Amino acid sequence: MPDVFALQAPPRYEIEDDDLLINIPAPPEKYSGAYLTETYKVNMGPQHPSTHGVLRLELTMDGEVVLSIRPHIGYLHRCFEKHAENLPYAGIVPYTDRMDYLAGLSQNMSFAVAVERLMGIKVPERVEYIRVIICELQRIASHLVAFGTYGLDMGAFTPFLWAFRDREMILDLFEWLTGARLLYNYIWVGGLARDLPEGWVAKTREFLDYFEPKINDFNDLLSYNHIFITRTANVGILPPEVAISYGVTGPNLRGSGVDWDLRRDDPYSIYDRFKWNVALGKGRFGPIGSCWDRYWVRIEEMAESVKICRQALEGLPEGDVHETIPRKARPPKGDVYARTESPRGELGYYVISDGSDVPLRCKARSPCFTAISSLNAVVQHAKKPMLIADVVATVASYDIVLGEVDR
Partner 1 sequence: MLELDKLVKLVGDGIEAVVTALGLGPTWVTLVQLIVAALVVVVFAALVVLFLVWWERKVSARFQMRLGPMRVGWHGTIQTIADALKLLQKELITPANVDRGIYFWAPVVTFVAAMAVYVTVPFGKGLIVRDLNIGILYILSITTFTVIGLLMAGWSSNNKYALLGGFRSAAQVVSYEVPMALAIVAVVMLTQTLSMGEIVSQQAKFYQWYIWRQPLGFLIYLVAATAECNRTPFDLPEADSELVAGFVTEYSGMKFAMFFLAEFLNMFTVAAIATTLFFGGWNGPFLPSWMWFLIKTLAGVFVLMWFRWTYPRLRVDQLMSFAWKFLLPLAFINIVLTGLGIYIFRP
The residues binding partner 1 (CB under 8 A) are 49-50, 64, 151-158, 161-162, 165, 221-222, 225, 227-228, 230-231, 387-390, 392
Between 35 and 157, CB nearer to partner 1: 157
CB 141, min distance to partner 1, A: 17
Between 154 and 313, CB nearer to partner 1: 154
Between 33 and 199, CB nearer to partner 1: 33
CA atoms within 13 A on the CB side of 236: 30
DSSP 50: T
Between 31 and 200, CB nearer to partner 1: 31
The three-class DSSP label of residue 68 is: strand
Task: Name the residue among 116, 110, 128 with its Cα closest to residue 342.
Answer: 110
CB 227, min distance to partner 1, A: 5
Integer-rounded Cα Rg, in Å, for the chain is 22
Distance CA 336, CA 79 (A): 21
CB 158, min distance to partner 1, A: 5
CB 57, min distance to partner 1, A: 13
CB 48, min distance to partner 1, A: 9
Burial of 49 (0-12, 13-18, 19+ CB in 10 A): exposed
Between 228 and 276, CB nearer to partner 1: 228
Q: Could you please report the per-residue DSSP string of 219-266? A: IIIIIT-HHHHHHHTTSS---HHHHHHTT--THHHHHTT----HHHHS
CB 373, min distance to partner 1, A: 23
CB 188, min distance to partner 1, A: 36
Between 362 and 395, CB nearer to partner 1: 395
Q: How many residues does the chain have?
A: 407
Helices 125-153 and 104-119 pack at an angle, to 10 degrees, of: 140
DSSP 316: -
CB 42, min distance to partner 1, A: 10
Distance CA 100, CA 290 (A): 24
Vertex 261 angle, CA 259 and 267, to 5°: 135
Residue 330 near residue 138, CB atoms below 8 Å: no
Between 196 and 400, CB nearer to partner 1: 400
Distance CA 280, CA 361 (A): 35
Between 8 and 43, CB nearer to partner 1: 43
